Amino acid sequence: MTAVEQFDRVAVADAVKRVVIAESRLSVDPATITETEPLVGELLRVNSLGFVGMLVQIEDVLDITLPDDLFVGRTFKVVGDLVDVVLQGAEASR
Amino acid sequence: MTATLPTAWRSVLPYLSEPLPPDRTPPGSGGSGVGVNLPMELVRQSVLPREYWTIPDEVIAAYRHFRPTPLWRATGFERAIDARVPIYMKYEGGNISGSHKLNTALAQAYYYKRAGVRELVTGTGAGQWGTAMAAACALFGLRCRVFMVESSLRRKPYRGVLMRMLGAEVHSSPSGLTEVSGQRSTPLGNSLSLAIGEAVEYARNHDGVAFCIGSGETYSILHQSVIGLEAQAQLTELDTQVDAVVGCVGAGSNFGGIALPFHAAAAAEGSTPPLLVAAESSTAPKLTRGVYAYDKTDATGTGPMEAMYTIGSDYPIPDAHSAGLRFHGAAKVVSALRHTGDVAAIAVGQPESLDAGRLLTLHEQVLPAPESGHALAAAARLATTGADGMRAGRGVLVCVSGHGYLDLGAYEQLLNGELGDEAPVEEALLSAVAGLSPVYGDRVPAAVAGGPA
Which one of B146-155, B171-180, B204-213, B254-263 scores highest in mean pLDDT? B254-263
- Touching check for B210 and chain A: CB below 8 Å? yes
Measured distance CA(B45)–CA(B63) in Å, rounded: 19
In this predicted structure, the answer to whether residue B31 has a pLDDT above a threshold of 80 is no
ipTM of this predicted structure: 0.85
pTM, two decimals, is: 0.92
| Segment of B296-300, B322-326, B398-402 carrying the highest mean pLDDT | B398-402
Nearest CA of chain B to the CA of A45: how many Å?
10
pLDDT greater than 90 at residue B52: yes
Cα B271 to the chain's mean position, in Å? 27
Minimal Cβ distance to A73: which of B30, B40, B208: B208
Task: Please give the Cα distance from B408 to B153 (Å, whole number).
Answer: 14
Question: Across the interface, do B25 and A38 touch by the CB < 8 Å criterion?
Answer: no
Check CB contact of B28 with chain A, cutoff 8 Å.
Answer: no
CB neighbours (10 Å) of residue B189?
Answer: 17
Report how far residue B69's alpha carbon sits from residue B88's, in angstroms, rounded to the nearest whole number: 13
Cβ separation B36–A55 shorter than 8 A: yes
A7, A23, A19, A15: which is closest to A88 by C-alpha?
A7
The model's pLDDT over B302-354, given as tens digits with 9 standing for 90+, comes to 677 899 999 998 887 877 676 678 788 999 999 999 999 999 999 999 999 99
Least Cα separation, residue A43 to chain B (angstroms): 13
- If you average pLDDT over residues B262-291, what whole number do you get? 96
Does B388 have pLDDT greater than 90? no
- φ, ψ dihedrals at B218, nearest 5°: -60, -35
Q: Are B371 and B69 in contact (CB under 8 A)?
A: no
Q: Give the closest residue to B351 by CA, choosing from B401, B287, B417.
A: B417
Do B29 and A47 count as a contact with CB atoms less than 8 A apart? Answer: yes
Answer whether residue B269 shows pLDDT above 80: yes
Helix, strand, coil in percent for chain B, rounding step 5: 40, 15, 40
Q: Give residues with Cβ within 8 angstroms of B317, minimum separation 6.
A: B188, B190, B191, B283, B284, B311, B326, B327, B328
Amino acid at B376: L
- Quick one: three-class SS letters along B118-143? CEEEEEECCCHHHHHHHHHHHHHCCE
Contact B371, B401 (CB under 8 A): yes
Instruction: Report the distance separating Cα B402 and Cα B90, nearest Å.
Output: 10
Return the residue of B nearest to A45 by Cα. B30
Note whether A47 contacts B25, CB cutoff 8 Å: yes
Residue B48 at interface with chain A, using a CB cutoff of 8 Å = yes
Q: How far apart are CA B322 and CA B279, in angstroms?
A: 12
Do you find a cis peptide bond into B14, omega within 30 degrees of 0?
A: no
Q: What is the distance between the alpha carbons of residues B6 and B301, in angstroms, rounded to a whole number? A: 37
| pLDDT band, very low/low/confident/very high, at B185 (cuts 50, 70, 90) | low
Tell if the CB–CB gap between B35 and A47 is shorter than 8 Å: no
Q: Is the pLDDT of residue B452 over 60?
A: no
**pLDDT > 70 fraction of chain A, expressed in percent and rounded:** 89
The span from the CA of B12 to the CA of B162, in Å, is 34
- Specify the pLDDT at position A23: 86
CA separation for the pair A51, A19 (Å, rounded): 10
Sort residue B28 into left (φ over 0), alpha (ψ -120 to 50) or beta.
left
> Residue B240 corresponds to which amino acid?
T
How distant, in Å, are the alpha carbons of A53, B99, B144, B150, B392 from that of B165? Answer: 39, 17, 12, 19, 43
A28 interface with B at CB cutoff 8 Å: no
pLDDT confidence of residue B68: 98
For the four alpha carbons of B188, B194, B196 and B202, in that order, the dihedral sign comes to negative
Please tell me which residue of chain B has the smallest CA distance to A44.
B33
The whole-angstrom separation of Cα A13 and Cα B217 is: 31
Cα B368 off chain centre by: 15
Cα separation, B385 vs B382, whole angstroms = 7
Q: What is the pLDDT of residue B453?
A: 41
> Cα B422 to chain center, whole Å?
21
DSSP assignment of B220-266: HHHHHHHHHHHHHHHHHHTT---SEEEEE-SSSHHHHHHHHHHHHHH
Distances (CA, A) of B247 to B90, B251, B377, B417: 10, 11, 10, 26
Cβ-contact B212, B133 below 8 angstroms: yes
Amino acid at B46: S
What is the DSSP track for B177-207? SSHHHHH---SSS-HHHHHHHHHHHHHHTST
pLDDT tens digits for range B161-181? 999 999 999 999 999 899 888
B contacts of A65 (beta carbons < 8 Å): 40
B123 closest CA partner among B95, B155, B101: B101
The average confidence (pLDDT) of chain B is 90
pLDDT value of position B432: 86
Nearest Cα to Cα of residue B247 among B276, B287, B216? B276
**Separation of alpha carbons B402 and B93, rounded Å:** 4
